[in-house]
Chains A and B, each alone.
Chain A
């Protein structure tokens, strides 16, 4: 690649492609894979809700450990989890850095830096809480995503009375992000193959802008064609699967555990 901008976009796009569309964990017979998708969704939402309203660091850590253990019990590859964990909260880490300084969060000084600026205990705790919350939310959503087939998830959404039109758009978006990401990579490589020498930052930005514009046109064309392909196979807007969801005792157990998690949350400080 001819510039840092190109290289970063290239790596981000190929990384997203790898992480979003590898479905090897779905076929495994782990803890989460065997749960009813509706239960998984309710569990994930409950965990996100509790992480958002509770401030106790210990409780947040408890939620995070529950998420991690569920993923381990579902045979999810730690490397993959780590990769996603790195991509998504990476930006949060940047956002949380200012929180630790005394000029943003006044409090007891731990490390004196210069003048009246220092790192405060309150700032560190606030940053840790912020990061843990993000980690819990991201991990909890990942756990559902990597252990559920998309059609099951769509059917579960139907159970929650999400309108079919919204589900249709969601399902197509998920699948075609890959096609468009691949197209974006191809366009970048095609540009690179015709670029000689080092590019200025402005030229690189302009190249990225052109690719983004082309992708938009491509996505509009593609959406029409995909709709045709679905309609020609009898799609009328209803999500159908061969599996009809049935509650098992393990689903009830998870439901009871959720009540326990909520209870602990409200009992904790």
Chain B
């Protein structure tokens, strides 16, 4: 690949209380890619995003950002931390974690304010983010009064205003209604057009092809078991079943309605 290498992981491991959360994971991520990290619950997807965001540090192996190792000492230099935070934005799975300010506007300008920009620039970025996410009407609302979809859009706007070149999104489609999901996918497309890199975790395969070009799959024993295109991963049903990404059957797809009795582990039902 000719594009610039943003992240490189070599035998990356992370342990928490002597248990593996990630076990010898290696991959490269290049500028402009849309990557989905797939895996069953507890496979280490969210931890991987936190490592990529410098919120946790590897307990084994190496992780580098533009060739520089992401370690605690890297972030001790204020200059490095400032540059890194400006470039890499993280949208958390639960927007309530991310929305800690009193109003939507305060939330959106929180990131730019930390970057020591002038007041004019902060306001311009805030207005731009409100405009792109189409949430001007929410400007003076308190985050806790917003719906789930609105909170998600505000959370994204609060990162967009920092103009990151890399987006880390933890389960961006979780708990969104179809309209909000569609808006988010449009946003992901626009970010790709702007040349931004997107790294998202998900275990929802239905919209995977629209969200990502490349897929990293983490197994339930925390290893990287696939680094491939979306089509290749989705086309291998046995692989998906083995890694707990689908049932051993599907409940009707692409508009075809199927009625049959079938068995899940432990119970029976009719669809």
**A residues at B contact (CB < 8 Å):** 21-23, 26-27, 149-151, 171-172, 175-176, 178-179, 182, 222, 225-226, 228-236, 240-243
Measured between C-beta atoms, what is the minimum distance from B210 to chain A in Å? Answer: 26
Is A234's CB under 8 angstroms from B140's CB? no
B residues lining the A interface (CB < 8 Å): 50, 53-55, 78, 81-82, 85-86, 88-90, 92, 94, 96-98, 100-103, 106, 109-111, 113-115, 119, 122-123, 140, 142, 144, 158-159, 162
Cβ 8 A contact of A233, one of B96, B110, B140, B142:
B110
With A233-B162, A242-B119 already in contact, the answer to whether A175 and B55 are too (CB < 8 A) is no
Closest 3 CB pairs of A and B: A234-B114, A234-B85, A240-B113
With contacts A23-B102, A233-B162, A234-B85 taken as known, whether A179 is within 8 angstroms of B114 at the C-beta atoms is no
Within the complex, which residue of B55, B109, B140, B144 is in contact with A232, where a contact is CB–CB below 8 Å?
B55
Shortest Cβ distance from residue A108 to the other chain B in the assembled complex, whole angstroms: 51
Asked if residues B50 and A242 are in contact (CB atoms below 8 Å), the reply is no
Q: How far is the CB of A101 from chain B (nearest CB, A)?
A: 45
Complex CA gap A62/B144 in Å reads: 38
B189 to chain A, nearest CB (A): 24
How many angstroms between the C-alpha atoms of A171 and B100 in the bound complex?
Answer: 9
Give CA–CA (A229, B122) in the complex, Å: 19
Contact A222 B158 (CB under 8 A): no
A21-B142, A175-B101, A228-B55 are known contacts. Are A234 and B92 too (CB-CB below 8 A)?
no
Task: Determine if B86 and A229 form an interchain contact, defined as CB atoms under 8 angstroms apart.
Answer: no
A-B contact pairs, 29 of them (CB 8 A): A21-B142, A23-B142, A26-B102, A27-B140, A149-B106, A150-B102, A151-B102, A175-B100, A176-B100, A178-B144, A225-B97, A226-B97, A226-B100, A228-B50, A228-B53, A228-B97, A230-B100, A231-B55, A232-B54, A232-B55, A233-B89, A233-B90, A233-B110, A233-B111, A233-B114, A234-B82, A234-B85, A236-B78, A236-B81
